[in-house]
Structure 1
């Protein structure tokens, strides 16, 4: 496919950025056409535990759903967290084809612990120019991405984060509260993942037909 050849041109950048920032920096190239096997290049994958063939993240699905890439070239300096609970500073560059369609994402995740040089690097003028027309968040923003290694984790994390906002047990939630969660999951793109409706029904302790009914609501 032509888009794959275009994406392959960005593979050298994965090594280039990782070599500049160092071992506390994970760099990935995502193919967003094949979301289930999205990672096609990676350096320092030990940071998130991911490897070639891992899926798109929860944030990745949300960006696809809300089409932020139509208005901006990148999403920079937001907070993320790996499965070990370590905090990171992350940035995503949108890769588009000649027609302006999104085909991939170049992602940089820097451990926000001992070495802060990576975050400083992202704030310097050369990379700001590369990330022109970017949406930038400050360091006080809430965690916006979970760096998961499987689609099951992506779905589970996406649902659990929304449930946590209510601070009550699922079996005590009203149908209205569950409906709001399902609507937010749709807005976050979670239902693009095969099996997400079954998973959501199990976690929310309801039926799949009820999930479909919630999705039919406007």
Structure 2
């Protein structure tokens, strides 16, 4: 007889793996286990956390929110070799494995964040010795045809708290338009709300109030915008 394990039991099995993989990969590779059922405190295990300065109880990332919102995990098991950035501005090479239950619904994320700074410095030194000039820029590593750190379709910000994450996504979205919130029309504000929804912001508890404050609107207005774009929140 096959015994079905709960999501919590399945994720518990991965906790020793975090310690193991982090030890095997070494101090330049951060390994993180997220329980996506609690986005505000999703980190349940982490090894080599000096890379991002996050801890157990830390929040989900902006990329993970987008993945959950779009359900892009449905037709793939992992996402590899994309660029990430810590809150201190450190560029990392990241990969994520989607942990799914028997219904193929994602319940957790096993993430790797490789600090490639020292590797780039070593490569530049060797290139300089061999070729007489450095071949790699400050952000260096090529990922999917781009240098690590250049704009790309897949990029992740590693924030230490859900509050910082929420604020970061909101401010980044507002920076994409030239009109300040106090001068925006209702349609322009609704467009901002639509973009924030696509980025998974409203999966976060308390996000409506945060968005309302930044858009110089009321909570009721944001809920009304969400209803108008056929979103159930």
Structure 1 position 143, deviation (Å)? 6.5
Match of 1:110 among 109, 114, 136: 114
Structure 1 position 169, deviation (Å)? 3.3
Does 2:221 correspond to 1:210?
yes
> Which residue is 2:60 aligned to?
56
Match of 1:181 among 177, 188, 192: 192
> Which residue is 1:166 aligned to?
177
Larger Rg: 2
Which residues of structure 1 form unaligned runs of 5+? 118-135
Distance 1:182 1:143, change over 3 A: same
Aligned 1:91-170 pairs, distance under 5 A? 91-115=95-119, 137-139=144-146, 140=150, 141=152, 144-170=155-181
Structure 1 position 98, deviation (Å)? 1.8
Once superposed, what is the RMSD of the aligned Cα atoms? 2.1
1:193 and 1:39 map into 2 onto residues whose CA distance is 15
Whether contact under 8 Å (1:81, 1:145) holds in the other structure is yes
| Structure 1 residue ranges, 4+ long, deviating more than 4 angstroms after superposition | none
TM-score by length of 2: 0.78
Of structures 1 and 2, the one scoring higher in RCO (CA 8 A, sep 6+) is 1
Instruction: Please give the per-residue CA displacement for 1:16-48, whole angstroms capped at 9, x wherever unaligned.
Output: 332233212111000111222211110111221
1:113 and 1:167 map into 2 onto residues whose CA distance is 34
